[in-house]
């Protein structure tokens, strides 16, 4: 069975490693992980991927939503899951850009069961098919 | 908006003892609250761990107790921080109203810095450590559990570590702001050589202005190209000019002042201006920043 190909954008290294390891254990193929939006966009242009898991807060520079929009522009079929530690990202930024259509939005503490994240990835991919 | 009289008045307030004390008090209280939460969480973690092996730790409880909630709530409250009216103070009566506004703007900017830090560094790592423990438990991987506990201890013993450490040159500060946008936006940077190596306490403020201007240009103006010019202006000021090819005009001034506007207003002491070209698809932001005063 073909594994789901996922890229992961998370600026915090420990968190990125943890999520990557957990998703691999769940049978997903993490084809690329990075802390840089530009690297993810470049990778997505050259490779076939099914979904992107993106942290909302990527430090100074683009937010996860900027990354989601840049990736979706490149691939309209891409499933997108945005991770945030906030209940509502509007609390983090008042003038936030809109998430691409069909994107899923997941609060980090609800990822304690990694299967929740896997389900959201599958739902995000289905929403775009 | 490039009004030097208001700029002088705001600069006087920013240099006042009242302003400095207010900012210090807010910073100290925030740091203390973060330490208190981390210490409380650490205590509960030890309580949970008491008499159990790491593999037996109830992860759901760790997440709920330690997690994310306490730090998330603190971040949210910092995003909405305000400071009481200074009341009786060392400011002249005619400066009181503006003084309260200037202090509040700065409190909101610093509150946002803390909120982003707590969210991005503390809360995120705590969540990841909990996830790691859970997955390691399932896999029976005791080394991974120990690593996660070690990470939790590091974070909780010194949760503010790394906040506010800022001593890079202006060029490095700007490069750090521009690099993450690589591939999404073409930027042409011109910075006067005498400014590029300076390590002013205001560099972080300047970086925030540039970061905010870029976000606005990309998110709301749909810009793809931007030129950034930084040059000295008189003896103690610098001028930042940012010109972009935004296809969408910036919102008008009647819209409620967002964090970005507060940053421009506060950092420039009110001396900034946003213009839309009548003839071209172009927006020009000019911000004048005094190198006098402190980082705040």
pLDDT (tens digit, 9 = 90+) per residue, A38-80? 999 999 999 999 999 999 888 888 989 999 999 998 899 999 9
Q: Do B128 and A19 touch (CB under 8 A)?
A: yes
Choose the closest CB to A38 out of B148, B183, B220.
Answer: B183
B 198-217 → A contacts, CB under 8 A:
207, 211, 214-216
Per residue, the 3-state secondary structure of chain B, as one string, reads CCCHHHHHHHHHHHCCHHHHHHHHHHHHHHHHHHHHHHHHHHHHHHHHHCCCCHHHCCHHHHHHHHHHHHHHHHHHHHHCCCCCCCCCCCCCHHHHHHHHHHHHHHHHHHHHHHHHHHHHHHHHHHHHHHHHHHHHHHHCCHHHHHHHHHHHHHHHHCCCCCCCCCCCCHHHHHHHHHHHHCCCCEEEEEECHHHHCCCCCCHHHHHHHHHHHHHHHHHCCCCCEEEEEEEEECCCEEEEEEEECCCCCCCCCCCCCCHHHHHHHHHCCCCEEEEECCCCCCEEEEEEEECCCCCC
B 153-182 → A contacts, CB under 8 A:
176-177, 179-182
Q: From edge to edge, which strands make up the β-sheet containing A104-107?
A: A29-34, A5-9, A51-55, A79-84, A104-107
> Higher-confidence residue: A64 or B90?
A64
> What phi and psi, each to the nearest 5 degrees, are found at residue A38?
-60, -40
Residues A33-56: b if buried by 16+ CB within 10 A, e if exposed? bbbbbbbbbbbbeeeebbbbbbbb
How, if at all, do strands B237-244 and A51-55 pair?
unpaired
> Is the separation of the CB atoms in B154 and B72 below 8 Å?
no
Chain B, nearest residue to A113 by Cα: B131
Cβ of A34 under 8 Å from any chain B Cβ?
A: no
In this prediction, residue B296 has a pLDDT band, given cuts at 50, 70 and 90, of: very low
Average pLDDT, chain B: 83
Q: Do A12 and B127 touch (CB under 8 A)?
A: no
Chain B interface disruption, residue of A13, A64, A112, most B CBs within 10 A: A112
> Higher-confidence residue: B201 or A79?
A79
In this prediction, residue B125 has a pLDDT band, given cuts at 50, 70 and 90, of: confident
* DSSP annotation of A94: T
CA-only gyration radius of chain B, Å: 23
Residue B251 has pLDDT above 80, yes or no: no
Residues A17-35 pLDDT 10s:
989 999 998 999 999 999 9
pTM of the model: 0.82
User: Which residues in chain A are closer than 8 Å to B78, comparing Cβ atoms?
Assistant: none
The set of residues, in sequence order, having a beta carbon less than 8 Å from that of B194 and lying 6+ positions away, is: B232
Chain B, nearest residue to A39 by Cα: B183
Q: Nearest-CA distance from B267 to chain A in Å? A: 18
**What number is the ipTM of this complex?**
0.81
Residues A99-122 pLDDT 10s:
888 888 887 666 667 888 999 999
Choose the closest CB to B120 out of A12, A42, A95.
Answer: A12
Chain A, nearest residue to B63 by Cα: A109
Cβ of B262 under 8 Å from any chain A Cβ?
A: no
Choose the closest CB to A38 out of B59, B123, B184.
Answer: B184
Residue A94's pLDDT is 46
User: Which residues in chain A are closer than 8 Å to B132, comparing Cβ atoms?
Assistant: 18, 21-22
């Amino acid at each position: 069975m073909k594994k789901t190909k996922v890229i992961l954008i998370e600026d915090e290294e420990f968190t990125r490693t943890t999520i990557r390891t957990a998703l691999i254990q769940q049978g997903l193929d993490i084809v690329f992980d990075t802390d840089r939006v530009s690297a993810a966009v470049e990778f997505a242009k050259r490779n076939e991927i099914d979904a992107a898991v993106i942290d909302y807060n990527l430090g100074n520079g683009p937010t996860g939503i900027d990354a989601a929009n840049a990736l979706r522009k490149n691939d309209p079929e891409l499933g997108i899951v945005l991770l945030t530690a906030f209940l509502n990202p509007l609390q983090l930024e008042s003038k936030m850009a809109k998430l691409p259509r069909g994107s899923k939005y997941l609060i980090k503490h609800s990822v304690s069961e990694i299967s929740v994240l896997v389900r959201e990835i599958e739902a995000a991919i289905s929403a775009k098919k | 908006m490039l009004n030097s009289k208001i700029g002088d008045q705001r600069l006087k307030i920013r240099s006042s003892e009242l302003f400095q004390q207010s900012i210090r008090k807010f910073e100290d209280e925030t740091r203390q609250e973060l330490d208190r939460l981390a210490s409380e969480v650490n205590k509960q973690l030890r309580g949970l761990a008491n008499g159990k092996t790491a593999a037996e730790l109830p992860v759901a409880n760790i997440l709920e107790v330690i997690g994310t909630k306490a730090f998330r709530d603190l971040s949210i409250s910092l995003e909405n921080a305000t400071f009481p009216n200074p009341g009786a103070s060392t400011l002249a009566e005619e400066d009181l109203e503006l003084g309260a506004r200037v202090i509040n703007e700065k409190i909101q900017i610093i509150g946002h810095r803390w909120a982003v830090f707590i969210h991005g560094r503390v809360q995120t790592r705590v969540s990841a450590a909990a996830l790691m423990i859970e997955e390691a438990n399932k896999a029976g991987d005791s080394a991974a559990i120990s690593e996660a506990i070690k990470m939790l201890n590091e974070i909780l013993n010194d949760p503010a570590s790394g906040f506010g450490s800022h001593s890079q040159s202006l060029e490095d500060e700007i490069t750090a702001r521009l690099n993450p946008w690589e591939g999404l936006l073409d930027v042409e940077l011109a910075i006067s050589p005498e400014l590029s190596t300076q390590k002013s306490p205001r560099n972080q403020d300047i970086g925030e202005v540039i970061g905010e201007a870029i976000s606005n240009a990309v998110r709301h103006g749909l810009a793809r190209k931007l030129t950034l010019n930084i040059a000295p202006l008189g003896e103690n000021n610098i001028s930042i000019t940012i010109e972009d090819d935004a296809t969408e005009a910036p919102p008008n001034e009647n819209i409620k002042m967002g964090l970005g506007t507060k940053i421009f207003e506060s950092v420039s002491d009110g001396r900034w201006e946003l213009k839309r070209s009548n003839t071209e698809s172009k927006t020009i932001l000019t911000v004048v920043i005094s190198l006098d005063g402190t980082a705040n």
